[in-house]
């Protein structure tokens, strides 16, 4: 059902407060024009070009076990040009610092840039943030102000993959632009940042002294916005390599205790995509030298050290695969269950030239039932 069809049906439903709130929020969002990536420069007083538009080739993945959506990604794609803009009339609103400029929503400040408005959840998130405009107008004053702010805040920025792939690479854009800037730019980070996020910033060379934790009551006088360093599932490989080198250079190279270069990523502590046949799967993989890791138990520095030395990684689709960006030359086998919502780790592997394969598994609810012998056979084909 399309977004507009859903709204049409909701107009007749008023008994459910949540449904009514949804209708009011999303129709409120529809009243605002949208500033897309392509239109961002039209509202800028200054623009710093980082990289031009460039092609990305994704290789063909074949085999009965490979999900169809990954097979469909083969071929040439385009990464749009990357740049940073100074927006003198922009402001950031709401808990996720959605940009608002000249009466329009700045999509590059939202969770998925131009694609945010393609989903109901994305529109809901924008609407929730715009609802804060009225709250701010009712306040007698802002709690604090920032002269020049560059935001790494979005609804997804406290998720490990999106922080590493969507947020930290923007610092490469900012640092490139800074060479010709005449202002001291403060980097804005998400409210209540988890420890691993602050650790990653420290490894990037950004301490608490040169970041500002975002709060909706903060007023930013001069907003700087960059393009999203990702197009769909395809990351900006150049910016991601820059991020990797910065993190690897500043991280302790000491190996993880009992570390192995053949890694199985366990999702036992995750809310979805746990492998219900994990013990039998590990019985098949251990003779090949694999060791299971629950990455939530490791610091960012420990994860960098572990994956820096990795030869092969196996596991269910999830944020743990983000860490292959720290590897030099690694084989990857990703397990999928009910659906393939994202091909991001295939695209990431392609950007780094890694050997990648995927296996479609049976599922139970949101969890995965992997065939241990099938997975072992696929892994052995790549060893």
Q: Are residues 306 and 374 in the same domain?
A: yes
Q: Are residues 210 and 98 in the same domain?
A: yes
Domain final residue, candidates 225, 249, 273 = 249
pLDDT band, residue 336 (cuts 50/70/90): very high
Domain final residue, candidates 249, 274, 305 = 249
Mean pLDDT of 186-192: 97
pLDDT beyond 90 at 68: no
Mean pLDDT of 348-372: 94
Residue 50 placed within a domain: yes
The share of the chain scoring above pLDDT 70, in percent, equals 89
* Nearest CA among 53, 109, 80 for reference residue 230: 80
For residue 337, give the CATH number of its domain. 3.40.50
Mean pLDDT of 314-341: 93
Q: Are residues 95 and 238 in the same domain?
A: yes
CB within 8 A of 318, min separation 6: which ones? 265, 267, 270, 273
pLDDT band, residue 23 (cuts 50/70/90): low
Q: Are residues 368 and 305 in the same domain?
A: yes
Query: Do residues 307 and 295 lie in contact, with contact meaning Cβ atoms separated by under 8 Å?
Result: no
Helix, strand, coil % (nearest 5) of the chain?
Answer: 40, 25, 35
Residue 2 placed within a domain: no
Separation CA 67–CA 56 (nearest Å): 21
Residue 240 placed within a domain: yes
Separation CA 158–CA 277 (nearest Å): 30
Q: Are residues 79 and 165 in the same domain?
A: yes
pTM, two decimals, is 0.90
Residue 96 placed within a domain: yes
Q: Are residues 80 and 223 in the same domain?
A: yes
Q: Are residues 186 and 270 in the same domain?
A: no
Q: Are residues 376 and 316 in the same domain?
A: yes
Q: If residue 376 lies in a helix (H) or strand (E), which one and from where to where?
A: helix 372-382
Tokens of 210: 């040169």
Instruction: Write down the pLDDT at residue 22.
Output: 54
Residue 161 placed within a domain: yes
pLDDT beyond 70 at 14: no
Instruction: Write down the pLDDT at residue 137.
Output: 52
- Domain carrying residue 178: 33-113+136-249
Residue 209 placed within a domain: yes
Domain final residue, candidates 249, 279, 314 = 249
Separation CA 55–CA 140 (nearest Å): 50
Q: Are residues 160 and 82 in the same domain?
A: yes
pLDDT band, residue 134 (cuts 50/70/90): low
* Nearest CA among 292, 291, 94, 319 for reference residue 194: 319
Tokens of 324: 């292959």
* Nearest CA among 112, 102, 97 for reference residue 152: 97
Q: Are residues 56 and 93 in the same domain?
A: yes
CB within 8 A of 177, min separation 6: which ones? 48, 50, 84, 224
Mean pLDDT of 223-243: 97
Instruction: Write down the pLDDT at residue 340.
Output: 77
Cβ-based burial of 179 (10 A; exposed 0-12, middle 13-18, buried ≥19)? exposed
Domain count, the chain: 2
pLDDT beyond 90 at 81: yes
Q: Are residues 274 and 207 in the same domain?
A: no
Instruction: Write down the pLDDT at residue 64.
Output: 76
Tokens of 160: 């490990």
Residue 122 placed within a domain: no
Residue 49 placed within a domain: yes
Q: Are residues 78 and 176 in the same domain?
A: yes
């Amino acid at each position: 059902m399309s977004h507009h069809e859903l709204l049409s049906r909701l107009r007749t439903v008023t008994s459910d407060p949540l449904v009514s709130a949804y209708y009011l929020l999303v129709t409120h969002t529809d009243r605002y024009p949208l500033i897309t990536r392509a239109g961002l420069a039209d509202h800028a007083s200054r623009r710093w070009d980082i990289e031009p538009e460039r092609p990305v080739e994704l290789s063909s993945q074949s085999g009965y076990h490979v999900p169809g959506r990954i097979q469909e990604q083969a071929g040439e794609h385009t990464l749009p040009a990357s740049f940073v803009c100074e927006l003198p009339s922009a402001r950031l609103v709401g808990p996720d610092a959605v940009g608002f400029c000249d009466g329009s929503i700045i999509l590059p400040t939202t969770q998925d840039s131009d694609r945010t408005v393609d989903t109901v959840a994305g529109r809901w998130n924008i609407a929730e943030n715009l609802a804060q405009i009225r709250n701010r107008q009712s306040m007698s004053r802002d709690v604090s102000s920032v002269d020049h702010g560059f935001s790494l805040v979005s609804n997804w920025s406290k998720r490990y993959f999106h922080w590493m792939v969507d947020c930290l690479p923007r610092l490469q854009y900012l640092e490139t632009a800074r060479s010709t800037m005449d202002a001291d730019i403060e980097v804005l980070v998400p409210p209540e940042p988890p420890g691993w996020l602050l650790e990653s910033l420290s490894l990037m060379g950004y301490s608490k002294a040169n970041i500002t934790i975002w709060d909706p009551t903060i007023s930013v006088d001069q907003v700087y916005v960059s393009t999203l360093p990702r197009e769909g599932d395809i990351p900006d490989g150049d910016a991601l390599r820059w991020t990797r080198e910065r993190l690897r250079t500043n991280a302790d190279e000491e190996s993880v205790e009992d570390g192995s270069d053949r890694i199985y990523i366990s999702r036992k502590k995750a809310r979805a995509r746990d492998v219900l046949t994990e013990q039998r799967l590990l019985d098949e993989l251990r003779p090949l030298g694999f060791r299971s890791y629950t990455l939530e138990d490791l610091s960012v520095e420990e994860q960098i050290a572990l994956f820096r030395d990795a030869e092969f990684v196996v596991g269910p689709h999830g944020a743990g695969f983000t860490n292959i960006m720290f590897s030099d030359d690694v084989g990857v086998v990703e397990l999928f269950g009910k659906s393939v919502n994202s091909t991001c780790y295939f695209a990431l592997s392609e950007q780094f030239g890694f050997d990648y394969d995927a296996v479609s598994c049976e599922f139970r609810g949101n969890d995965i039932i992997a065939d241990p012998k099938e997975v072992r056979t696929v892994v052995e084909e790549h060893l």
